[in-house]
């Protein structure tokens, strides 16, 4: 939880850069947020991910190890080594990501709504519970609270497939190169490889995340800009080009290294 709260200021800068073009970059976004909304604005929407982070991490690792055991059993049954191929490791991570998406989708939707709503008297939501209630009341749970779920599933499958694959590759490579079992790899190296896996996670899935943020900060009902994932992709490409899909990447990568390192090191 401490990693999530520490990284929250980077996250709101990322989301603001993804969802609006009024900032020239990360430093400008952070400066304007501080100047116009105060230091506490960097922690808007923090409560929801803090409450859900434990469950999400449990699903991520639980889903990965469940799929891993299934592949090990299948490999053994076929008379092969139970060790997973890198394709199977990616698939195990993707399975974990898909399972996690049903938690992360609504959690991140609420967080993004709170991070992007107008400041002061014009705010739309009084907190996460009020946001959940209003989103669900507007279009129901599936179309309201779970808006953007299709692209969330795409992002999570790709992200966690690459996350676990990268970490396992780096650990296996280190053990093989140095002729030691994985259990003897030091904690600082495990943290380093976890951090690098976090960088790979975002580099491989970031455009999906931008589309998700656009959809989950969009107007509701008849005033919405995007009819769905494909429509959002096409409008972004037409209006912003390739650069639009990478807005906010800098603060995301800065945040990812320590957060991911801490997740694997614990």
pLDDT, tens only, 207-247: 999 999 999 999 988 889 999 999 999 999 999 999 999 99
> Is the CA virtual torsion 112, 114, 120, 122 positive or negative?
positive
**What percent of the chain shows pLDDT beyond 70?**
98
Return d(Cα 150, Cα 26) in angstroms, integer.
28
Asked if the model's pLDDT at residue 79 lies above 90, the reply is yes
Asked if the model's pLDDT at residue 4 lies above 60, the reply is no
Locate tokens 């953007």: which residue? 148
Contact status, residue 41 vs residue 71, Cβ threshold 8 Å: no
pLDDT, tens only, 100-155: 999 999 999 999 999 999 988 889 999 999 999 999 998 888 889 999 999 999 99
Mean pLDDT, rounded, for 12-29: 95
- Burial code (b: 16+ CB inside 10 Å, e: under 16) for 68-92 equals beebbeebeeeeeeeebeeebbbbb
pLDDT, tens only, 165-194: 999 999 999 999 999 999 999 999 999 999
Among 60-64, 81-85, 181-185, 217-221, the minimum mean pLDDT is found in: 217-221
What pLDDT sits at residue 10? 94
Return d(Cα 101, Cα 93) in angstroms, integer.
12
pLDDT, tens only, 91-101: 999 999 999 99
């Amino acid at each position: 939880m401490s990693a999530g709260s520490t990284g929250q200021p980077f996250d709101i800068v990322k989301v603001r850069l993804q969802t609006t073009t009024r900032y020239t970059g990360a430093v400008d976004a952070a400066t304007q947020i501080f100047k116009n909304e105060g230091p506490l604005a960097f922690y808007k929407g923090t409560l929801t991910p803090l409450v859900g982070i434990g469950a999400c991490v449990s699903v991520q690792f639980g889903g990965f190890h469940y799929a891993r055991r299934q592949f090990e059993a299948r490999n053994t049954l076929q008379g092969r080594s139970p060790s997973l191929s890198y394709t199977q490791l990616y698939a195990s991570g993707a399975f974990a990501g898909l399972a996690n998406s049903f938690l992360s989708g609504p959690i991140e939707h609420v967080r993004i709504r709170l991070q992007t709503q107008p400041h002061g008297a014009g705010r739309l939501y009084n907190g996460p519970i009020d946001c959940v209630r209003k989103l669900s009341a507007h279009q129901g749970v599936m179309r309201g609270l779970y808006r953007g779920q299709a692209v969330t599933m795409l992002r999570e499958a790709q992200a966690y497939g690459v996350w676990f694959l990268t970490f396992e590759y780096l650990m296996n490579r280190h053990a093989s190169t140095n002729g030691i079992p994985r259990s003897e790899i030091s904690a600082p190296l495990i943290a380093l490889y976890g951090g690098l896996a976090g960088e790979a996670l975002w580099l491989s899935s970031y455009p999906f995340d931008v589309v998700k943020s656009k959809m989950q900060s969009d107007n509701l009902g008849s005033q919405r800009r995007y009819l769905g994932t494909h429509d959002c992709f096409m409008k972004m490409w037409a209006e912003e080009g390739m650069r639009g899909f990478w807005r906010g990447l800098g603060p995301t990568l800065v945040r990812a290294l320590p957060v991911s390192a801490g997740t694997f090191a614990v």
